[in-house]
């Protein structure tokens, strides 16, 4: 007896980016993407994701090297969740790395990868008594926005992962922290970025201790396509004794 054909592999509700590009060429509302256009879109996603995540990871490692007490807390959490080689890296186990996530979030608050953002008004708006007509480009600076003392406190310029403890974070406006932007134009790689950075920290910190001779007060940044540290990161790795 002949088996029934398998369900369409593209018939699931959640599709990866490449599958979405392939299936958008099908159906009544098909878009005529060429193979080269699909390749170009995938390369753009890969390059953008690698560069931004790599930059955020470099700065996170630098902050961990500057603050050894924070590094120790992250390592303790990593070792507690992944206490043996038999524990798999899954979405559920990575979600347990709550303090590690606080460190990453605080890093992205102080040093957002994308600094200057822009939006076009669709309708007329009034902000703080200022009338803004439609079709106007509004730009905002995440570096200064994430350091507003009326939102983050008098020590807004300082590194403190405890700002993202749930009870403190819940008291802030939901748009007070937007390193991946927000609304309909939220970065589609947000979850991938957070998961990949946790995995990278797990692999690095369980094997090596990070240290640096740089001081937080010495850091200077420049705004390019993404935010960059002026000068080398200067992070050294020392093998941990197990």
**Does the pLDDT value for residue 6 go beyond 50?**
no
User: Burial of 38 by CB count in 10 Å (0-12 exposed, 13-18 middle, 19+ buried)?
Assistant: middle
CA angle, corner 61, sides to 146 and 90, nearest 5?
95
146-157 per-position pLDDT tens digit: 999 999 999 999
DSSP string, the chain: -PPPPPPPTT-SSS--HHHHHHHTTSSTT-----HHHHHHHHHHHHHHHHHHHHHHHHHHHHHHHH-HHHHHHHHHHHHHHT-STTS---HHHHHT-HHHHHHHHHHHHHS-S--EEEEE-SS-EEETTEEE-TT-EEEEEHHHHTT-HHHH-TTTTS--GGGGSHHHHTTS-TTS--TT--GGG--TTHHHHHHHHHHHHHHHHTTEEEE-S--GGG--EEESSSEEESS----EEEEPP-
Residue 182 confidence (pLDDT): 82
Which range among 5-14, 56-65, 165-174 shows the weakest confidence by mean pLDDT? 5-14
Is 187 assigned a ligand-binding role in the annotation? yes
**Does the pLDDT value for residue 89 go beyond 80?**
yes
184-194 per-position pLDDT tens digit: 777 777 888 89
**Does the pLDDT value for residue 196 go beyond 60?**
yes
How would you classify the pairing of strands 125-127 and 130-132? antiparallel
| Distance between start and end Cα atoms, the chain | 59
Q: What is the pTM of this model?
A: 0.81
Report CA torsion sign: 126, 130, 135, 136: negative
Contacts of 237 (CB under 8 A, 6+ apart): 204, 208, 209, 210
72-83 per-position pLDDT tens digit: 999 999 999 999
Residue 9 confidence (pLDDT): 43
Joined tokens for residue 9: 């592999």
């Amino acid at each position: 007896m002949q088996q029934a054909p398998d369900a369409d592999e593209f018939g699931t509700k959640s599709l990866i980016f490449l599958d979405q590009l392939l299936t958008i060429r099908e159906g009544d509302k098909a878009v005529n993407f060429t193979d080269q256009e699909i390749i170009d879109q995938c390369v753009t996603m890969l390059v953008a994701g690698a560069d931004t995540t790599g930059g955020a990871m470099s700065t996170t490692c630098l902050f961990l090297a500057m603050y050894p007490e924070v590094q120790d807390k992250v390592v303790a959490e990593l070792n507690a969740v992944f206490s043996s080689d038999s524990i798999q890296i899954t979405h559920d186990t990575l979600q347990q790395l709550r303090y590690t996530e606080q460190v990453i979030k605080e890093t992205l608050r102080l040093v957002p990868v994308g600094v200057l953002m822009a939006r076009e008004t669709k309708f007329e708006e009034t902000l703080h008594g200022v009338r803004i007509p439609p079709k106007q480009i509004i730009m905002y600076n995440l570096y200064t926005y994430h350091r507003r003392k009326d939102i983050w406190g008098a020590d807004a310029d300082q590194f403190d992962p405890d700002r993202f403890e749930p009870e403190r974070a819940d008291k802030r406006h939901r748009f007070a922290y937007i390193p991946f932007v927000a609304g309909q134009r939220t970065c589609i790689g947000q979850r991938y970025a957070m998961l990949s950075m946790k995995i990278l920290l797990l692999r690095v910190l369980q094997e090596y201790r990070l240290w640096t001779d740089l001081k937080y007060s010495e850091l200077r940044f420049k705004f390019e396509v993404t935010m960059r540290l002026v000068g080398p990161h200067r992070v050294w790795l020392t093998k941990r004794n197990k």
